[in-house]
Amino acid sequence: MKHFDIIIVGGGMVGLAMAKLLSEHACTVCLIDQGPISKALTDITEPRVSAINAQSQQMLNSVGAWQHIQADRLCAYTHMQVWEKDSFGRIDFAASETEHAQLGHIIENQNIVNALAAVSTNNLTVLEHTSIERIDISDQLALVHTSKQLLAGKLLIGADGANSIVRKAAQLPISFWHYDHTAIVSTVQTSKPHEHAARQAFTPTGPLAFLPLNDQNHCSIVWSQDTDEANRLMQLPAADFERELAVAIDMQLGPCELLSERVSVPLSMRYARQWVGERVVLIGDAAHTIHPLAGQGVNLGFQDAIALAQALRSVSADALGQRSALRAFERERKAQTVKMIATMEGFKQLFSGANPLKKWVRGTGMQLFNHAGGIKRSLIAQAMQG
């Protein structure tokens, strides 16, 4: 048996960030992942990307990861354009309306993982290619039975995604509902340059986002549609899909060409009603998943990791893993997450359907908001800081 103060399950972006944030703590940390963590990037930008806001960038910089991000595979975006198809409603954001040079960065998830993994951390043991066979949790310890050895920790952090085995082992209850949306993600080449603008068009069956990549004519798409419509789009020949894609974005970037396979991801909301148990705490997708229409999923997970690292600074070695020591963290993060879930659901419901009166109300509201300088700047600042 190997003993650690803290065991983190999950070597994705949030789990790795958590491990690096704990490097300043006087504790021993073990991170477990069932696969390889660092991987070479593919020649074409991978479909899974994230929109990293200013607060997340600051965190990545503070732990020494930002300098390891492959610079030719990230794109700063300076504008955001949001509109509804077949409507006059439109909102335009610009970095020039803030004190920042950009609104955020679009970065491949694997690029972020590689950068975090490249940061040297003295108190961290990383176990790759290690599957978990069983987790036993008692008042005194969390025992993780792996395919290679038995690990014991005072605190077990679940950063292992939406189907978290840590959450299941701790029997922490969740609420969930299906959005009845499926997201289609891919990398595409456009005829016109994106000019560092992120674009999102709301259609009656769901939103379509074009996220700018380092090449001026490459974008990552996230096309969230009613599941039946998404299934139809997935079955289309490439040429037909490309044609419908260009039309859906109102030909803003001209004809499009697929550069990668289309990947479909069913979308569900999950929310852990309890994030903290004796010897266990959840962060990231293990605690919550939300609709991707605002691109805030990983930023929300990074905020969990930042808040947990701060909370653990004031926890004594004897109290590490006790539920009472992390109740304030749980209250704070649950409140922020519920607010984000409610906002995403509100947007989804607001922009669903093609009722003429509802479209007029949406269009009028978007136009009014677009010209409300102070309110708009406040929302931009909030989105950038998470």
pLDDT tens figures, 359-368? 555 556 655 5
Mean pLDDT, residues 47-68 taken together? 95
What tokens appear for 238 in the block? 């490439």
pLDDT at residue 268, as a whole number: 85
Cβ distance 344 to 293 under 8 Å? yes
Q: What is the 3-state secondary structure (H, E, C) of 60-108?
A: HHHCCCHHHCCHHHEEEECEEEEEECCCCCEEEEEHHHCCCCCCEEEEE
Angle at 70 between CA 99 and CA 18, to 5 degrees: 75
Residue type, 234: M
Of the candidates 124, 161, 127, 121, the one whose C-alpha atom is nearest the C-alpha of residue 145 is 127
pLDDT band at 95 (very low <50, low <70, confident <90, very high): confident
Cβ distance 40 to 92 under 8 Å? no
Q: Is the pLDDT of residue 382 over 80?
A: no
Mean pLDDT, residues 190-196 taken together? 97
Judging by DSSP bridges, how do beta strands 132-137 and 142-146 pair with one another? Answer: antiparallel
Q: Is the pLDDT of residue 86 over 60?
A: yes
Cβ distance 22 to 312 under 8 Å? yes
Q: What is the rounded CA–CA span in Å between residue 155 and residue 321?
A: 4
Q: Is the pLDDT of residue 83 over 70?
A: yes
pTM of the model: 0.90
The residues facing 106 across adjacent strands are: 51, 75
Per-residue pLDDT of 110-136, as tens digits, reads: 999 999 999 999 899 999 999 999 999
Mean pLDDT of the chain: 88
Architecture of domain 2-39+121-176+268-347: 3-Layer(bba) Sandwich (3.50)
Cβ distance 328 to 335 under 8 Å? no
* C-alpha separations of 101 from 11, 97, 117 in Å: 31, 10, 27
Torsional class of 86: left (φ above 0), alpha (ψ -120 to 50), beta (otherwise):
left
Cβ distance 181 to 230 under 8 Å? yes
- The secondary structure of 303-331 as a DSSP string is HHHHHHHHHHHT--TTTTT-GGGGHHHHH
pLDDT at residue 164, as a whole number: 96
Per-residue pLDDT of 322-345, as tens digits, reads: 999 999 999 999 998 888 777 666
Mean pLDDT, residues 248-263 taken together? 96
Domain boundaries, the chain: 2-39+121-176+268-347
The residues facing 93 across adjacent strands are: 80
Q: How many helices (H) and strands (E) does the chain have?
A: 10, 20
Cβ distance 91 to 200 under 8 Å? no
Where does 196-352 show beta strands of DSSP type E? Answer: 197-203, 206-212, 218-226, 256-258, 263-272, 276-277, 280-282, 288-289
Q: Is the pLDDT of residue 232 over 70?
A: yes
The H or E element containing residue 117 is helix 109-117
Q: What is the rounded CA–CA span in Å between residue 119 and residue 113?
A: 10
Cβ distance 183 to 265 under 8 Å? yes
Of the candidates 217, 221, 303, 301, the one whose C-alpha atom is nearest the C-alpha of residue 264 is 221
pLDDT at residue 223, as a whole number: 95
Least confident window among 96-100, 152-156, 334-338:
96-100
